[in-house]
Amino acid sequence: MTPPRMLRIVLIVLWISLFAWSAEGWAETVYVQAKTAQLRAGKTSLDAVVGNVKFGDALEVVGRDGSWVEVKTAVGAKGWIFANKTSSSKPSGTNDTLAKLGQSMRGGDASATTASAGARGLDKASEGYANRAGVSARDRDAVDRMTAYQIPDQEVEEFLREGGLGEYAK
Amino acid sequence: MRNNHGLAAALIALSLTVAGCAEVQRASEDIARQSGNPRLAGAIHGVGNVVGSLFPIGYDEESSIGQAMALQVVARYGGVVDQPELVRYVNLVGRAVANTSDRPDIPYRVAILEHDSINAFAAPAGYIFVTRGLLKQVRNEAELAAVLGHEIAHVSQKHILDVIQRSKRLAGVTEAGLSYATSNPAAFKTVIDGAVKKLLDEGLDQEKETEADTIGEVFATRVGYDADAYVGFLTRLRDLKGDDRALFKTHPNFSARIEAVQKTIQGKHLAATGVVLQERFARMTKRV
């Protein structure tokens, strides 16, 4: 192989590699910026739901059209998502590593302080506070019920649909 | 001997900071205690708290703070409204806004306080309150969404938690009863009472209120509510109460707030969609 020919081959290989790297590097990623979101077969809320994604999921952008973004999930599923439910930056989430570490350092006992949604009863810390502060049984019950109050996501979705809000905008 | 204890504690603090390992801290404490040196164990424990106080408050701790503050808010404002349909409606609007906020991954609940003043509050971990008096001033769902957006923004931006952490640092307090809520209830009560006083009586920094106005406006418009609705609401309150901060004692005056929101609308090109849902609001709130 003559030197100029070898050089040509090396340059071609380099060019192909660079192109492949660039295509990968330029692939735009968005993140789900909503509690949950649906992927649809088309870019309207009338199109069939083809998948569900959740807060923080990374999605590769395939295309955009108006208020909708066509995306591909990590497992290769494709669909359209309402643009207002995405963000170009990765959301940090509620209990990040630093917060967990801090609680651990301070000697936190999650089982003593956790008030999980849906569970009835004040947590130990609040119960202790209510006793010391002299909060009435009526007011304790009000906060207890407030803590436990839940509305299923499906009902929120229906509420948005009825009002023509979000992806159901007319 | 005392110097040795200090040196050991300092070295352990350094290793904890570098390694970020709570298990190491606890193991060191145990070893010191078992070897008959409770003072060293105490020193290591204290060092862990100092290091831990530099980290943000986690959701479990936040949840305890929010629930305890909610107890005090409800107690001071005369209880909550018990009208299931109305409460459900207000929660649906809140959830619609919160679900596409910057912090949609925690539960949000809205309670209506049985009080005629015009006010709204947010305690950490998604405990949101609006007064019956405020609901009487709201004219449509888009205005309600913006008001709730403001409160959700306080939660998403962790404004109250920031106040608590700063006040702890200023006071040099490292063990202020957050994770120690059960083992040191007196300290926990001090923290909660201080935070409630800030929330209900003194008010947050004006910068935080302005931030909540502008971010809340973005949250409400993300759902599709008309961007001009909040300006309409604030303008009505200014016409009603003037600009002397008599109404929202704890907030910047209305003119400044309106100007900040208008700047956000223009700067971020938020849409006047015309979606205010006045009829649905009137139907759902007729018993307010």
- The yes-or-no verdict on residue B52 having pLDDT over 70 is no
Predicted confidence (pLDDT) per residue in A81-131, tens digit: 999 999 999 987 665 666 666 666 665 544 444 434 445 679 999 999 999
Question: Residue B243 — very low, low, confident or very high, per pLDDT cuts 50/70/90?
Answer: confident
Mean pLDDT, residues A59-80 taken together = 96
Find which of B62, B81, B109 to mutate to test the A interface (most A CBs within 10 Å of its CB): B109
Q: Does B64 touch chain A (CB under 8 A)?
A: yes
Residue B118 lies in a domain: yes
Tell whether B105 lies on the interface with A, counting CB pairs under 8 A. yes
Q: Can you give the residue range of the structural domain that contains B102?
A: 59-160+201-284
In chain A, domain spans: 29-92, 95-170
Q: Do residues B66 and B127 make contact, with C-beta atoms less than 8 angstroms apart?
A: yes
Q: Are residues B33 and B73 in the same domain?
A: no
- The verdict on a CB contact (< 8 Å) between A159 and B61 is no
> Do B275 and A112 count as a contact with CB atoms less than 8 A apart?
no
Q: Which of residues 227-256 of B touch A (CB under 8 A)?
A: none
**Helical spans, DSSP H, in A27-167:** 97-105, 110-113, 124-133, 137-148, 153-163
- Residue B280 predicted with pLDDT over 80: yes
**Cβ–Cβ gap B99/A156 under 8 Å:** yes
Asked if A163 and B99 come within 8 Å (Cβ–Cβ), the reply is no
CATH of the domain spanning A29-92: 2.30.30.40
Same domain, B154 and B223: yes
B230 and B142 inside one domain = yes
Contacts of B87 in chain A (CB under 8 A): 149
Calculate how close chain A gets to B217, using CA atoms only, in Å: 14
Composition of chain A by helix, strand, coil, percent to 5: 45, 20, 35
Does any CB of chain A come closer than 8 Å to the CB of residue B29?
A: no
d(CA B204, CA B154): 10
pLDDT for the residue B57: 82
Q: What is the pLDDT of residue A113?
A: 43
Q: Is A108–B55 a contact, with Cβ atoms under 8 angstroms apart?
A: no
| One domain, residues B126 and B48 | no
Nearest CB partner across the interface for B56, out of A102, A115, A123:
A102
Smallest Cβ–Cβ distance between B58 and the set A85, A100, A159 belongs to A100
**Confidence at residue A157, expressed as pLDDT on a 0 to 100 scale:** 95
Does a structural domain hold residue B165? no
Burial class (CB in 10 A: 0-12, 13-18, 19+), B235: middle
Domain assignment present for residue B251? The answer is: yes
With CB atoms and an 8 Å threshold, state whether A125 touches B68. yes
Of B39, B55, B71, the one marking the end of a domain is: B55
Cβ separation of A129 and B141 shorter than 8 Å?
no
Alpha-carbon A126 to chain mean position: 30
- Both B39 and B68 in one domain: the answer is no
- Is B81's Cβ below 8 Å from some Cβ in A? no
Chain B: residue whose CA lies nearest to A132: B189
B77 and B32 within one domain: no
Distance CA B117, CA B115 (A): 6
Q: How many structural domains is chain B composed of? A: 2
Q: Would the pLDDT of B199 be above 80? A: yes
**Each residue's pLDDT tens digit, B86-110:** 999 999 999 999 999 999 999 999 9
B14 and B86 share one domain:
no
Same domain for B95 and B234, yes or no, is yes
| pLDDT of A9 | 81
With a pLDDT cut of 70, the percent of chain B lying above it is 74
**What value of ipTM does the predicted structure carry?**
0.81
Q: What confidence category does residue B28 fall into, taking pLDDT thresholds of 50, 70 and 90?
A: low
Inside any domain, residue B180:
no
Q: Does residue B196 sit within a domain?
A: no
Does B105 contact A93 at a Cβ distance shorter than 8 Å?
A: yes
Q: Is the domain of B143 the same as that of B67?
A: yes
What is the chain B residue with the closest CA to A146? B109
Question: Do A165 and B186 lie within an 8 Å CB cutoff?
Answer: no
B124 plus B220 within the same structural domain: yes
Q: What percent of chain B has pLDDT over 90?
A: 64
**Cβ contact (<8 Å) for A146 and B80?**
yes
Whether residue B128 is predicted with pLDDT greater than 70 in this model: the reply is: yes
Determine the pLDDT at residue B24. Answer: 52
Q: What is the pLDDT of residue A111?
A: 42
Mean pLDDT, range A23-46, rounded to an integer: 88
Chain B interface, mutation test: which of A165, A168, A170, most B Cβ atoms within 10 Å? A165
B33 and B67, same structural domain? no
Q: Has residue B46 got a pLDDT over 70?
A: no
Contact between A83 and B33 under an 8 Å Cβ cutoff? The reply is: no
DSSP B162-225: HHHHHHHHHTT-S--SSTTTTT-HHHHHHHHHHHHIIIIII---HHHHHHHHHHHHHHHHHHT-
Residues B256 and B145 in one domain: yes
